[in-house]
Amino acid sequence: MKDAQKISWSTAFHLNCRALSLLYKAHPQMILSKLLSVIWNVLTPYGIIYLSARIIEALSTGKDEKILQGLVLITLASSALIALVSAWLTRWKNAQSAGLYFKCEQIFSRKLLDMDFDRIEDTKTHELLSLIHQNQNGGGWGLQQVILHCEELVSAAFTVLGGMALTITLFTSRVPETAGRYALLNHPLSTALVVLVMLLITCLAPVLTNKAGRYRTKYAQEHRLGNRLFSYFGFLGHNRELAADVRVYRQDLFCDKYNRNKESTFASKGIFAQYAKGPEGLLAAASSAVSVLFTGIAFLFVGLKAWAGAFGVGMVTQYVSSITKVSGGISKLISTIGNMKINAAFLTPVFAFLDIPNTMYQGSLTVEKRSDRNYEIEFRDVSFQYPGSNTFALRHVNMKFKIGERLAVVGMNGSGKTTFIKLLCRLYDPTEGVILLNGIDIRKYRYQDYLMIFSVVFQDFKLFALTLGENVASRSNYDAPLVVDCLRKAGFNARMDQMPDGIRTYLYKDYCAHGVNVSGGEAQKIAIARAIYKNAPFIILDEPTAALDSIAEAEIYSKFNEIVGDRTAIYISHRLSSCKFCDEIAVFDHGSVVQMGAHEDLVADTEGKYFELWNAQAQYYTT
């Protein structure tokens, strides 16, 4: 990502700290388990290195056998304790880290649930969320990378500290003055020169690695596009909903075209393959070569001091192991800090999404819970424009719902029916005018309280891959007899009786191999049962029979009064014949209510819009 170069170190630090704080607040045990496990696994090897050096020293100098036995026993006991604690920490970490992807997704989901509905429907919001997912699924960048970097940073820091604790005596141990020319190693300039060379080599390796890694981030846009193409065309054959079209129209040839293209993003002749063979590969190889050079210098320096008599052979093991770890830790530290700066560019859209403000007033009044369902809603000169639009979707709507009334809302596509329902449910607030509940502006009521007075079957409703009972009740703990009664009222009883586990049968096979698939019409009946179960004072049915056959549709109409009960019902439909049983019909046209009345009165008005719509549909049923 080209923006990675523009982000300052202070901004990168702030973004990474904020991301870590966000993850810690959401999942504190996950972060703690990872950090404690890393620190333990980094520091404990130094204990074994130290004890091993003592054992080798004891063997080489011929110390008392009891001292040697004691060192061996301490080493064995320490190894056993380290293994035991490591196993426990690993188990804790693995348990807390399970489903990391979904834990990050939960953060985004909570934001979506808390977000104003107009923001959710805004294409910019979806583009931002899509960009976050593309970065995450493509190169692994974003929130998940923060946890990895945090682990690596802590690991590198403690590796350096632990290694320095065991290495410092390497530079303070003096070569005997009788060692001749090797006594030069005691001179401060000699030590400073060796340390300087080691640091330069140590820092050079991660710099080269980071430079090689920038090729991946520089072309992040190409990476995202390639990943999207691969994710779509590479798995198109797995989508059973498309299977018939793919087979009939040989759409698999599209997949073949993209999947066999040698010049595509990740193919052998693609852009990343070219860089891997060229500058990226050379930089990575140079980094590895520099690391090997450091190992050689470390061995040479330690070996010369040991040869000159500064320390025994046991200490050689300690110094070589620890100084190599110090070098690796410093390299990892520099590399990780560089990667954190690069990842900061991918955290920018994450926080741009999470910082989307809510502007809708949430209200403070409690909606009175009335057993008599005596709720009256009035639209008073309501007009509405969608955000970013210059035209009104609704204009000067005046309407009052009578308690217990069955109201049908009809009109052509784009006439304002769906917008009317969104305003009624307060998914949007009016641009002009006011909507009243029992004489009070609905914006003054608590938002969640107000939503609870509506049961809605949306045209694009969704069912979950959960049990039938959980889908109807929208919760895990539910009233089973009531669920069965609601399904019976919705006309689903015959299908329910065929299900192997009744209302405990799983829908679909996403999580249960014995789950059952339901047709579109059956799903619509379940959605209607869900609306009945909520038992809200207002029930809204948006094209509730669109996926039903004519017999099932007639069954729903015949049971409509039983389904609705004493609730106020609003029924949206394109089929005007299905509106005859409603008390009143509101006819929408170009965002305005142009007619209201009973079916007989509206169809008698030969100049009205309803008569036009009625006859347009009736011609297909008459000769």
The string of pLDDT tens digits covering residues 71-122 is 889 989 999 999 999 999 999 999 998 888 889 999 999 999 889 888 888 8
Contacts 24+ apart (CB under 8 A), 234-243: 234/259
d(CA 236, CA 238): 5
Q: Kindly state whether residue 205 falls inside one of the protein's structural domains.
A: no
What pLDDT score was predicted for residue 545? 67
CB 266 within 8 A of CB 234: no
The string of pLDDT tens digits covering residues 285-311 is 777 676 677 777 777 888 888 888 888
What pLDDT score was predicted for residue 330? 79
Look up residue 381 and give its DSSP letter: E
Which domain range does residue 9 map to?
Answer: 2-173+311-354
What pLDDT score was predicted for residue 212? 67
The string of pLDDT tens digits covering residues 547-566 is 666 676 667 676 777 778 78
Minimal CA–CA distance to 322: which of 161, 157, 82, 172? Answer: 161
Q: Cβ–Cβ contacts within 10 Å for residue 101, how many?
A: 11
| 345 and 471, same domain (yes or no) | no
Q: Kindly state whether residue 521 falls inside one of the protein's structural domains.
A: yes
Q: What is the CATH number of the domain that holds 563?
A: 3.40.50.300
| 41 and 100, same domain (yes or no) | yes
Please give the order of strands across the beta sheet that includes 538-542: 454-457, 538-542, 568-572, 406-411, 584-589, 592-597
Pairing of strands 406-411, 432-437: unpaired
| 496 and 558, same domain (yes or no) | yes
Tally of structural domains, the chain: 2
Model confidence at 375, in pLDDT bands (50, 70, 90)?
A: confident
| 483 and 580, same domain (yes or no) | yes
Place of tokens 């920018």: 348
| 25 and 93, same domain (yes or no) | yes
| 147 and 23, same domain (yes or no) | yes
What pLDDT score was predicted for residue 40? 93
139 Rama class: left (phi>0) / alpha (psi -120 to 50) / beta: alpha
Least confident window among 120-134, 472-486, 554-568: 554-568
| 534 and 601, same domain (yes or no) | yes
| 23 and 169, same domain (yes or no) | yes
DSSP string, 404-423: T-EEEEEE-TTSSHHHHHHH
Q: Is 28 exposed, middle or buried (0-12, 13-18, 19+ CB in 10 A)?
A: exposed
What pLDDT score was predicted for residue 459? 80
Q: Kindly state whether residue 81 falls inside one of the protein's structural domains.
A: yes
The string of pLDDT tens digits covering residues 609-623 is 988 888 887 666 555
| 604 and 470, same domain (yes or no) | yes
Structure tokens at 490: 């919705």
> Using alpha carbons only, how large is the chain's radius of gyration in Å?
35
The string of pLDDT tens digits covering residues 345-360 is 899 999 999 999 988 8
| 348 and 412, same domain (yes or no) | no
User: Over 90: is that where the pLDDT of 23 sits?
Assistant: yes
